[in-house]
A and B are shown apart, each in its own frame.
Chain A
Amino acid sequence: MKWMSKILSVCLVIMASTALGQTAEMADAFRAEGKIYVVVAIILIVLAGLITYLFMLDRKLSRLERGIQEKKQTNQERKAF
């Protein structure tokens, strides 16, 4: 009986150590199927869209700034006359 319990305890130790060494579950299958690229593509499209939006706002402001500068200049010239 003694040797049986010895073997059992060794087995338990081995099982415990492998359980500790086991790595956490990750989305490996999802990656293997290549579906992760769909997620990456979608996120990049959203990012690109938002950044394009920022560029458009930027251009709009620049145009307005230029317009006001020109208007100011013509006003000054008119005053000088």
Chain B
Amino acid sequence: MSKWLKFLAIAILVFVHTAGLLFDVPRLQILNETIRALYFHVPMWFGMFLLYGVSLYHAIRYLRRPDPVNDYKSVEYAHVGTAFGILGMLTGMLWANYTWGTFWHGDPKQNGSAIALLVYLAYFVLRGSIDNQEQKARLSAVYNIFAFAAIIPLIFIIPRLQDSLHPGSGGNPGFNAYDLDDRMRPIFYLAVIGWFLIGLWIANLRIRFRALHEMKLELSDEMDE
């Protein structure tokens, strides 16, 4: 990952954390100042979705050309994506406690995203349960496609078909005038970009670590010969 992108991510996040707390936001009942959580909670989910998308891309690349590099890229992006998802879940629960009354409301969006996270946890369990490297890579790449396909109805479609306290449900668009006005929009989108870039950076570090680990295994194999 180029240095330029890293500095861009840092500049964006410094701006987001400053503007997110200082700039004007709509004055709404119940939400009050917690409306600012939108800048920090929602980018976690967007980051997760984008990182899972990158993971899917590498999974498909693995199926087209079975190179182990594609496989471990796919895993590491999914790994960082899951970390973002867990942060999104925890921040969402805390926010829900103050605006909806309980940490877990059984809201369709909450349930859907919990299932989506479990689907991805199962991905790691699946990988852990197969010893053969090639088989592990192939099966988990196929599972990755299904997991990504499952997220879309779980997070984006089903909650929208039902009544829910979460914005973007009950037929409402996700970003309607009441929860995301024009003052909030630029900061929110910058936050998504900034966190996604940080996610890519962390995944990049993990991939390089994995590459070094594989290299070490190769070297010890050579020594044995």
B149 contacts partner chain A, Cβ-Cβ < 8 Å: no
Q: How far is the CB of A34 from chain B (nearest CB, A)?
A: 11
Q: Are A26 and B32 in contact (CB under 8 A)?
A: yes
Q: Would B17 and A43 count as touching, CB distance under 8 A?
A: yes
Interface positions, chain A 30-52, Cβ under 8 Å from B, are 36, 39-40, 43-44, 47, 51
- Please state if B27 and A23 are interface contacts (CB–CB under 8 Å): yes
Given A57-B205, A68-B215, CB of A24 within 8 Å of CB of B10: no
Which of A39, A51, A55 has a CB less than 8 Å from the CB of B21? Answer: A39
B139 at the interface (CB under 8 A from A): no
Q: Are A54 and B212 in contact (CB under 8 A)?
A: no
Chain A contact residue count (CB 8 A cutoff):
20
Residues of B in contact (CB 8 Å), total 23
B31 contacts the other chain (CB 8 A)? yes
In the assembly, what is the distance between CA of A6 and CA of B155, in Å? 53
Contact A47 B205 (CB under 8 A): no
Residue of B nearest to A46 (CB): B17
Provide the main secondary structure of the chain A interface. Answer: helix
Task: Check A64 for interface membership: any CB of B closer than 8 A.
Answer: yes
Partner of A65, one of B17, B31, B212: B212
A58: contacting residue among B14, B33, B205, CB under 8 A:
B205
Binary flags per residue of B202-220, CB closer than 8 Å to A gives 1, else 0: 1001001100100100000
Determine the residue in chain A with the shortest Cβ distance to B28.
A24
Asked whether A61 lies within 8 Å of B29 as measured between CB atoms, the reply is no
A54 with B17: CB separation less than 8 A: no
Per the 8 Å Cβ criterion, residues 7-35 of B in contact with A are 10, 13-14, 17-18, 21-22, 27-33
Any chain A CB within 8 A of the CB of B201? yes
- How far, in angstroms, from A58 to B32 measured CA to CA in the complex? 40
Shortest distance in angstroms between A40's beta carbon and chain B's nearest beta carbon?
5
14 pairs across A/B with beta carbons < 8 Å?
A: A24-B28, A24-B29, A24-B32, A26-B27, A27-B32, A36-B21, A40-B22, A44-B14, A44-B17, A44-B18, A47-B17, A54-B201, A54-B205, A58-B205
**Additional A-B contact list (18), CB under 8 Å, known A24-B32, A57-B205, A64-B212:** A24-B28, A24-B29, A25-B32, A36-B21, A40-B17, A40-B18, A40-B22, A43-B21, A44-B14, A51-B13, A54-B198, A54-B201, A55-B6, A58-B201, A58-B205, A61-B209, A65-B208, A68-B215
